[in-house]
Amino acid sequence: MPTGKEDVAKFFDENGYISPLDVLTTEEAKELRANFNHCEEEIGQDNATYSLHNTHMTTEWVLRLATHPKMLAPLKAILGPSLILLDSRFITKYPTPEEKNAFVAWHQDVRYWGVEGDVVSVWLAVDDADIENGCMHVIPGSHKMGILQHDSADKDGNLLTSNQAIPLDLFDVTKSTPCPLKAGQMSLHHGHIVHGSETNRSSRRRCGYVIRYIATTAKPIIDADRPRTFPATVLVCGKNDEKNFEDHAPEWFTWKQE
């Protein structure tokens, strides 16, 4: 994978994703897993699957993770020097028996987010993620196709709350590319890229921390039929001169990069 600033931006522009990128040291990855394990013990596996939403607003170790310098560096190369954290969520897939499905159908993130401008998503591996336990797959270059039609999934077990799925005849599924990650590594993907993941058929948990970032030049889409609010936006580096999104940073966030 390219690592230089210009190379990262060029690869991402052409392909709509980049993976893997090293972020955490071995010790940092162990600490992350220990922190998540503690949360999991407190709230239970059912809640740990999808309910840890925007905890960067209340929990210091989470916001420190979302502002890790090695995470922000490639994001700044792609989006520019002034970044807003839009939203974050821990997503966990637990081992699933053969008679059940728990997959993420092919979809595009931007369809749901209500943002005009590029959105880049981080998928940071809390656990090792591979094909066996349901790592993310992308369709390289599909971010250049615009927003595609989404219908209802044709099988049970879709983890998307809206049960939406892009019909397979609208893109070339043979280009499906897995994004395996070691714990502490991340992938980046464009908000328009077609992506999804299969059921975890392993005996291992697959947890990732998903964070959405935008440049301060992005704007909220005003839609009376689907009003949206953005209560968890945080300016993580640079300046918010445009003020298209409010900076809701917790008062204890004192390490923002300029």
Asked, as a colleague might, if the bond just before 20 is cis with ω within 30 of 0, I would say: yes
Q: Predicted confidence band at 1 (pLDDT cuts at 50, 70, 90)?
A: low
Q: Predicted confidence band at 112 (pLDDT cuts at 50, 70, 90)?
A: confident
| Residue whose C-alpha is closest to residue 48's, from 92, 89, 88, 87 | 92
Residue 122 is which amino acid? V
Task: Locate the domains of the chain by residue range.
Answer: 5-237
Cα separation of 78 and 2, whole Å? 13
- Three-class DSSP labels, 24-90: CCHHHHHHHHHHHHHHHHHHCHHHHCCCCECHHHCCHHHHHHHCCHHHHHHHHHHHCCCEEEEEEEE
Q: Predicted confidence band at 226 (pLDDT cuts at 50, 70, 90)?
A: confident
| Residue whose C-alpha is closest to residue 215's, from 187, 192, 240, 193 | 240
Q: Predicted confidence band at 171 (pLDDT cuts at 50, 70, 90)?
A: very high
Q: In the CATH scheme, what is the homologous superfamily, with its name and number, of domain 5-237? A: q2cbj1_9rhob like domain (2.60.120.620)
Asked which of 173-177, 182-186, 221-225 is least confident by mean pLDDT, the reply is 221-225
pLDDT at 3: 63
